[in-house]
Each structure stands twice: as structure tokens, then as C-alpha cells.
């Protein structure tokens, strides 16, 4: 639970040594605390932010703590819209922690994760989508992710959702007014226009929902699972892609019995590779658990790379598993091409445009595979259209869309218009929740707990 009204403080820069560290303070006692520590007893709040060069002292012992810059921002012209001061001092972990200790001894409270941004939201400077964009921007690993976060922080998503919400409200009022004042000469509802508007709105929401597939990859990265039977070279492929010996490689089948993770960054997008246990029947309990985890990673992956030994026919187990793989998420790597003696003697039921011939020994095919990965990621990050970056936003829009689709069914079955109005009302509420309307306090805590403390 976040409390407004008291004064909070936090280190606003990453932990560790650095040239500069920032301690941020927000609340009614911010200026008093700054005066106490800087010995500047006549800080005069001004409309414009002030930057002062200052030395800082312990309030009781008068010991010199550090020297640096003191930033003074008067409400409402600050990040939180409260009185805010920032101590820009040397980035020593000891000095920064000592400032926090002294501030809390003087009645300041250590801020909760995201509490500065929460106050900015509660005081109306930003809405909830903009607040969430702050966390996305801070954690952005690439240019496109940062651009999308900045777009949302600047109100891009809010500006898209607000007219959509107002449109649905107008449809609701069109129905309600005719139900409440049916005898007051209001013209009948134009059902053709109503259904056209409803259909266009559904299409708009569906397009935005579909953008989350890209937005998720921008924010969370791409997950690639290397799957297949034992001893086909999954670990060797992972090691080659990463350029180091991440996985243990031996001639013995079943060497990998747990999930092995490795990461690459392409165009600022994190690619997480998972080397998995070989899929086969086994009585070994540890290997069985590893195989269960392999199936789970196949289920969760954005991209599945099925690895096969090009010098051997597929086993029955492999054929059964391949038939269950989602075609749109699966590609095939025919490894060990250096062992193939008669290429025409073996055939594999893999689509040619989703198959690569590889050899970890001769490096065959790896340039082509990496080029494909670069092109795939480039296609994901291209374009400047608005994207959803949050699963919360996506789920609320799916809820709104579900209610709008219910109206289609109500119209087709000639149900009372009171029911249409109820579905529209629920759709409006769902879209409003994206911007923070009608949310329970627990929902805010779930959102802001992912922020860093100083933001």
C-alpha cells in the first residue's frame, strides 16, 4: 500500500560505484531536509527549478558528508508534482547509503518501488499507461523498444484509447437514452449505423491486440528452444551461436538433462536460447524430469528449432513429436551434414523454406541461420505503428472485444437492447482500466512493484 502525504527518499541511480549518484526526496518536508543538510537556511522556492552548488553536512555531528549539486523543484513543477529535491553527489555506495540513513533518521520514509511515479500518477500529471511506460523505458535494451516506450510516455496509447472509450460511451448513451426517454420524441436507433460503428471498433481493437505479439518481443525478448532427440548436436549449436562453451558436449546421448540458457542481442532485442534435454523414452528419473521441462519450453517458446541428425533417419518418437509442433513457430535444423555420405538416401518431412543444413564441425549453414534470425528480428522491430507492450493492456482489450462480440450475438438473436447496453458498459470499463480507472489498489501494487525503488 502506498501512502501519500509523507516525505519519501531513495537512491535514483544504479547501485555500485560511479562518478555521480543521485538521492531523490519528494514530499512536504523535502525543502526542510535540504536546508538542514546543506546549511542553506533560506531556500526560497521558485517557479523554475534551481541548481545550487553545495556542501552537505550531518545534521547532528556537523561532519562533512560530501559536496555536489542540490536540485530544487517546487510543486507542482516536478516529477511527482510535489516539492522535490535531488542531491547529486559522488557515486560511492557508502556515501549514498549514508545519505539515505540520515534522511530516514530525520523522518523521511524509504520509497517503495515505483512510488515516485505512482505519486505522479495519483496527482494527475500522467495516466497509468504513461506510468507503465516509465518502467519499460528504464529497462529498454534497444532503440525501437525505447521509441515505443517514449511514444507511450508521451501519451500515444492514451490518445488512442480515449476517443475509443468516448465512442463506446456514445453508443451506450444512444441506447440508454432511447430506453429511458422512449416517449419523448427521440428518433429510433439507426441499427445499420450502430452495427457499422460496432464492427469498425472491433476491427480497431483487434488490430491493437495483434500488435502485442511484436510488443512482447520488444519488451521481453525472443525465446528460442532447441529441441530434438539426444545426441543430435543441440548443445553444440548453442555453443556455436553464443561463441562459448555454455553447454557440456560429449558423444554420450542424454548429456543434457536440464535446461541450459544463453543470450544474444540482435538489433537491441534479447534472444534467449534454451538447450533442452533430448526427447526419448527413459527410466532415469532425473532425465525424465529434464524431458518434461523440454516439453514445457517447447510449449512456451516464441520459436522452436527442432534439431535432427542429417545422417540418420528420424525415430518414431521424433516423428510423433514433430506432428504435434505448431507449424507457425517451428523451424528445422538438419545437423551433422559432414557425416552424410549419400544425401539422396535419406528424406525428411520438413518444409524446405523452414529448414537449414548445418554442421558444427565444418560451420556449414551457420551464416545462413544467423542471417535468417537477423532478418526475422528486423521484421519484428520495423515500423512506427503503435504497439501494445503490456500483457495487462492486451487482456483488458480482449475483455472489451469479448463484450462487443457478445453484442453481435444479441443482435442476431433479437435480444433486448438493455443487454446491448450492459455489454457496452463492460467494454467501456475494461478500456478505462487500462488508463487506471476503476482499478483495485492491489492492481496498482502489482504494476508498480516491478519498478526500481528510485523511480
Residue 184: is its pLDDT beyond 70?
A: no
Residue 61: is its pLDDT beyond 70?
A: yes
Please say whether the beta carbons of 142 and 218 come within 8 A: yes
Q: In sequence order, which residues have a C-beta less than 8 Å from that of residue 172 and are 6 or more positions away?
A: 421, 424, 425, 428
What average pLDDT does this structure show over 54-75? 94
User: What are the tens digits of pLDDT across the range 27-36?
Assistant: 999 999 999 9
Least confident range of 126-135, 212-221, 289-298, 389-398 = 289-298
- Residue 55 sits at φ, ψ, to 5 deg, of -100, 150
Least confident range of 97-106, 149-158, 293-302 = 293-302
Q: What is the pLDDT of residue 182?
A: 59
Q: What is the pLDDT of residue 183?
A: 57
Q: What is the pLDDT of residue 278?
A: 77
User: What are the tens digits of pLDDT across the range 17-27?
Assistant: 889 999 999 99
Between CA 433 and CA 131 the distance in angstroms is 13
- Residue 293 sits at φ, ψ, to 5 deg, of -70, -35
pTM over 0.85: no
Between CA 139 and CA 98 the distance in angstroms is 27
Cis omega (within 30 of 0) on the bond before 440? no
User: What are the tens digits of pLDDT across the range 231-277?
Assistant: 888 888 888 888 766 555 555 555 554 577 788 888 778 888 988 88
Residue that wins the pLDDT comparison between 132 and 439: 132
| Mean pLDDT of all residues belonging to the chain | 87
Least confident range of 109-123, 184-198, 239-253, 418-432 = 239-253
Show the 3-state SS of the chain. Answer: CCCCCCCEEEECCCCCCEEEEEEEEECCCHHHHHHHHHCCCCCCCCCCCEEEEEEEECCCCCCEEEEEEEEEECCCCCCCCCCEEEEEEEECHHHHHHHHHHHHHCCCEECCCCHHHHHHHHCCCCCHHHHHHHHHHHHCCCHHHHHHHHHHHCCHHHHHHHHHHHHHHHHHHHHHHHHHCCCCCCCCCCHHHHHHHHHHHHHHHHHHHHCHHHHHHHHHCEEEEEECCCCCCHHHHHHHHHCCCCCCCCCCCCCCCCCEEEEEEECCEEEEEEECCCCCCCCCHHHHHHHHHHHHHHHHCCEEEEEEECCCCCCHHHHHHHHHCCHHHEEEEEECHHHCCCHHHCCCCCCHHHEEECCCCCCCCHHHHHHHHHHHHHHHHCCCCCCCCCHHHHHHHHHHHHHHHHHHHHHHCCCCHHHHHHHHHHHHHHHHHHCCCCCCHHHHHHHHCCCCCCC
Least confident range of 158-162, 208-212, 245-249, 378-382 = 245-249
pLDDT band at 55 (very low <50, low <70, confident <90, very high): very high
Q: What is the pLDDT of residue 57?
A: 95
User: What are the tens digits of pLDDT across the range 1-20?
Assistant: 678 889 999 999 988 888 99
Query: 68-80: b or e for each residue (b if 16 or more CB lie within 10 Å)?
Result: bebbbbbbeebbb
Q: What is the pLDDT of residue 296?
A: 87
If phi over 0 gives left and psi between -120 and 50 gives alpha, with beta otherwise, what is residue 343?
alpha
Residue 419: is its pLDDT beyond 90?
A: yes
Between CA 247 and CA 273 the distance in angstroms is 11
Least confident range of 81-90, 252-261, 286-295, 422-431 = 252-261
What average pLDDT does this structure show over 336-363? 83
Q: Where is mean pLDDT largest: 94-98, 220-224, 229-233? A: 94-98
Going by their DSSP bridges, the two strands 64-73 and 84-91 should be labelled as antiparallel
Q: Report percent pLDDT > 70 for the chain.
A: 93
Please say whether the beta carbons of 158 and 388 come within 8 A: no
Distances (CA, A) of 352 to 186, 331, 347, 348, 357: 64, 10, 12, 10, 10
Going by their DSSP bridges, the two strands 355-357 and 330-335 should be labelled as parallel
Distances (CA, A) of 214 to 160, 190, 276, 417: 18, 38, 25, 38
Q: What is the pLDDT of residue 251?
A: 55
Q: In sequence order, which residues have a C-beta less than 8 Å from that of residue 112 and are 6 or more positions away?
A: 2, 8, 118, 448, 453
Q: What is the pLDDT of residue 280?
A: 74
CB atoms near residue 298 (< 10 Å): 21
pLDDT band at 432 (very low <50, low <70, confident <90, very high): very high
Amino acid at each position: 500500500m502506498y501512502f501519500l502525504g509523507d516525505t519519501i527518499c531513495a537512491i535514483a541511480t544504479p547501485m555500485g560505484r560511479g562518478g555521480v549518484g543521485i538521492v531523490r526526496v519528494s514530499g512536504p518536508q523535502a525543502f526542510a531536509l535540504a536546508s538542514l543538510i546543506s546549511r542553506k537556511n533560506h531556500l526560497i522556492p521558485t517557479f523554475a527549478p534551481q541548481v545550487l552548488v553545495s556542501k552537505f553536512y550531518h545534521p547532528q555531528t556537523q561532519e562533512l558528508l560530501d559536496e555536489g549539486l542540490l536540485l530544487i523543484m517546487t510543486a507542482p513543477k516536478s516529477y511527482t508534482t510535489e516539492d522535490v529535491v535531488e542531491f547529486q553527489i559522488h557515486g560511492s555506495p557508502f556515501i549514498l547509503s549514508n545519505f539515505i540513513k540520515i534522511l530516514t533518521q530525520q523522518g523521511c520514509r524509504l520509497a517503495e518501488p515505483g512510488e515516485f511515479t505512482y505519486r505522479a500518477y495519483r496527482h494527475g500529471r500522467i495516466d497509468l499507461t504513461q506510468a507503465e511506460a516509465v518502467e519499460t523505458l528504464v529497462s529498454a535494451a534497444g532503440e525501437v523498444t525505447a521509441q515505443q516506450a517514449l511514444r507511450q510516455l508521451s501519451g500515444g496509447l492514451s490518445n488512442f484509447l480515449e476517443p475509443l472509450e468516448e465512442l463506446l460511451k456514445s453508443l451506450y448513451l444512444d441506447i440508454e437514452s432511447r430506453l429511458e426517454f422512449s416517449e419523448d420524441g427521440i428518433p429510433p436507433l439507426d441499427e445499420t449505423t450502430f452495427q457499422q460503428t460496432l464492427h469498425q471498433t472491433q476491427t480497431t481493437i483487434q488490430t491493437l491486440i495483434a500488435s502485442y505479439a511484436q510488443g512482447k518481443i520488444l519488451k521481453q525478448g525472443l525465446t528460442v528452444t532447441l529441441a530434438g532427440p539426444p545426441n543430435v548436436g543441440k548443445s553444440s549449436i548453442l555453443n556455436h551461436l553464443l561463441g562459448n562453451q555454455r553447454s557440456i558436449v560429449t558423444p554420450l546421448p542424454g548429456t543434457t538433462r536440464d535446461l541450459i540458457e544463453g543470450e544474444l542481442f540482435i538489433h537491441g532485442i534479447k534472444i534467449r536460447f534454451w538447450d533442452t534435454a533430448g526427447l526419448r523414452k527413459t527410466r532415469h528419473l532425473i532425465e525424465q524430469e529434464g524431458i518434461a521441462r523440454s516439453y514445457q519450453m517447447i510449449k512456451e517458446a516464441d520459436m522452436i528449432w527442432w534439431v535432427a541428425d542429417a545422417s540418420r533417419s528420424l525415430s518414431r518418437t521424433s516423428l510423433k513429436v514433430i506432428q504435434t509442433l505448431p507449424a507457425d513457430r517451428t523451424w528445422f535444423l538438419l545437423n551433422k551434414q559432414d557425416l552424410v555420405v549419400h544425401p539422396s538416401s535419406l528424406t525428411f518431412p520438413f518444409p524446405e523454406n523452414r529448414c537449414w543444413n548445418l554442421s558444427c564441425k565444418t560451420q556449414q549453414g551457420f551464416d545462413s541461420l544467423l542471417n535468417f534470425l537477423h532478418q526475422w528480428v528486423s521484421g519484428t522491430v520495423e515500423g512506427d505503428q503503435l504497439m501494445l507492450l503490456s500483457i495487462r493492456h492486451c487482456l483488458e482489450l480482449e475483455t472489451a472485444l469479448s463484450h462487443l462480440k457478445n453484442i453481435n450475438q444479441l443482435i442476431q438473436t433479437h435480444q433486448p437492447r438493455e443487454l446491448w447496453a450492459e455489454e457496452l458498459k463492460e467494454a467501456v470499463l475494461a478500456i478505462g482500466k487500462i488508463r487506471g480507472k476503476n482499478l483495485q489498489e492491489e492492481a496498482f501494487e502489482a504494476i508498480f512493484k516491478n519498478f526500481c525503488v528510485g523511480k
